[in-house]
Structure 1
Amino acid sequence: MRTINRNRNRNVVLGAAATAALALALTACGGEDSGTKAADPANGATPAAASRPADAAKAGDSVANTGSAQAVSAGKGTAKEGTAKASGGNTDTDSYAYTHPCKSQKLSVHVTSRAGAPTQRVIEVRNLGASACGLSYFPRVSLGNSHSADHSKDVRPLVPSGLGGAPAYPVRAGKTAYAVIDVNPCGATTGTVAGIDEMNVLADDAHMPNAETHNFPLGSGAKVLKPKLGLYRSTIADAVSSMTQADTQS
């Protein structure tokens, strides 16, 4: 009987040990299986441990994309504001014109006869650009013969003296500057300069080369004597008034 009891106890102990060993083995396998699934997405599993970085990355991407969108949106807004300012705001001012001389490519220059004053011509310089620009106080004008190769003896008009003040004459976008010249202010019929049939106009003598001079016909038989040229003005009437004050050789 004692021997049987011993064997039973031994079997119990062995059974318990075997059960414990089996449990440990199963636990270990379970851990290996879980680890294998986490490391091998091909198994079709989406382990929580593996999903966290992905979720974090997605969240991070979302934040980054939102930030990028905001940055792009802000950038576009800034660009639009800058464009708006450039097209109609702070580049179309007198102060801007003082530091930005007009370019001939963005100007139109025309000469017309003044109604009721046959010896006077109106020089019109229009700013075709989107920003203000600056001109010299008056255009450079000479009167000569269109068929002559030598223009050294062309007639230059008188201009007003005592100039000063702003560094340039500002012309806003889309606006026109006027200058008036009287080729024969005394209305002389004799003693006039012979052979004059052309007027040469350079809109800005201070910043433009001679090659940008425009030539306008005066017509044959034009009588030219001691011409007078006024300063650029915003109206023809003011340009005429300025012309009458011309007293210095240009």
Structure 2
Amino acid sequence: MTVKSLKSALSSAAVLALGALALTACQPGTNGAAAGTSPSTAASAPASAPASGGSGVTPVSAPSSPSANHGGGGTGGTTGGSGGSGGGDATSDSYAYKHPCSPQQLSIHVTTRAGAPSQRVIAVRNSGARSCGLSYYPLVSLDKSQAPDGATAVKPLVPGGLGGPPAFPVYAGRTAYAVIDLDPSGATSGTVAGINELNVLADGDHMPNADTLNFPLGSGALVLKPKLGLYESSVADAVSSMQSANTQL
């Protein structure tokens, strides 16, 4: 072979080798990434979570517990037990001690105790939205309805040895009871004649006399050395308290 033929053959071989190399560079590699691309950047990155306040979904905050609001500003209405529109103040002793009951938030009823005709149950209901405080017992007197000056009024004995306030808390929607026995001895002679009215002031420590309510006893009521108990949460406890009355009002 001549020198010229040898050079021609070598040039053709070089061209074929370069072509093969170029084709190999354009094909996918064994690691699945395109040529010149790192495998770690070839995979799709997950979408980042939206920032709060952005166009994505914002997590919803849990509502505050109703019992967390112990302050004022609640709406009116009757509540019972715990909670209610008064929040924690509806059943709070400390709130009651600082907030005496007003006549406007109370309803008062007097009934004859079943099986005890000489006894009257004084029921004082807190119809407000928050607890409030009452004195230890209602301010009570027995009188003739036609005697406006109170000169003939009879006042009951009450339990003695009481401390100062705070006295009796009554929760929102709850009732305080006090029991008076008009004639604890059951005597039919020596009774005060003409007594036919029971006068009740729910809280003698904070309410003016003008808020006194009058309840008829009916004709023939026998009154002799009456006894009045403290406010209690049940009629049975109020009866027990009345029986321990030993101090004259």
Q: TM-score, normalised by structure 2?
A: 0.66
Aligned: 1:194 with 2:196: no
Match of 2:110 in 1: 111
For residue 221 of structure 1, report the CA deviation from its aligned partner.
1.3
Aligned: 1:233 with 2:235: no
Contact 2:84 2:129 in 1 (8 A): no
Contact 2:101 2:134 in 1 (8 A): yes
Contact 1:139 1:179 in 2 (8 A): yes
Match of 2:145 in 1: 146
- The residue type equivalent to 1:124 in the other structure is A
Contact 1:97 1:168 in 2 (8 A): no
Quick check: which one's helix share is greater? 1
SS of corresponding position for 1:95: helix
Inter-CA distance 107–87: structure 2 relative to 1 (3 Å threshold): same
- The residue type equivalent to 1:148 in the other structure is A
Aligned residues with identical type, % of pairs? 64
Contact 1:178 1:239 in 2 (8 A): yes
| Aligned equivalents of 1:133, 1:140: Cα separation in 2 | 17
Contact 2:136 2:231 in 1 (8 A): yes
Aligned: 1:213 with 2:208: no
- The residue type equivalent to 2:179 in the other structure is V
For residue 166 of structure 1, report the CA deviation from its aligned partner.
5.4
SS of corresponding position for 2:117: strand
- The residue type equivalent to 1:95 in the other structure is S
| Aligned equivalents of 2:100, 2:67: Cα separation in 1 | 26
| Aligned equivalents of 1:235, 1:85: Cα separation in 2 | 22
| Aligned equivalents of 2:183, 2:66: Cα separation in 1 | 54
| Aligned equivalents of 1:149, 1:236: Cα separation in 2 | 31
For residue 232 of structure 1, report the CA deviation from its aligned partner.
0.1
| Aligned equivalents of 1:86, 1:221: Cα separation in 2 | 46
* CA distances 1:48-102 after superposition (whole Å, capped 9, x unpaired): xxxxxxxxxxxxxxxxxx9xxxxxxx9xx89996447862214530111001000
| Aligned equivalents of 2:171, 2:207: Cα separation in 1 | 19
Unaligned runs of 5+ in 2: 1-52, 54-60, 75-82
Q: CA RMSD in A?
A: 2.3
Match of 2:120 in 1: 121
- The residue type equivalent to 1:229 in the other structure is L
* CA distances 1:94-125 after superposition (whole Å, capped 9, x unpaired): 11100100000000000000000010000000
1:80-95 equivalent positions in 2, closer than 5 A: 82=69, 83=74, 87-95=86-94
Unaligned runs of 5+ in 1: 1-65, 67-73
| Aligned equivalents of 2:165, 2:232: Cα separation in 1 | 14
For residue 152 of structure 1, report the CA deviation from its aligned partner.
2.6
Q: Which runs of 4+ in 1 moved over 2 A?
A: 77-86
Match of 1:157 in 2: 156
| Aligned equivalents of 1:121, 1:200: Cα separation in 2 | 12
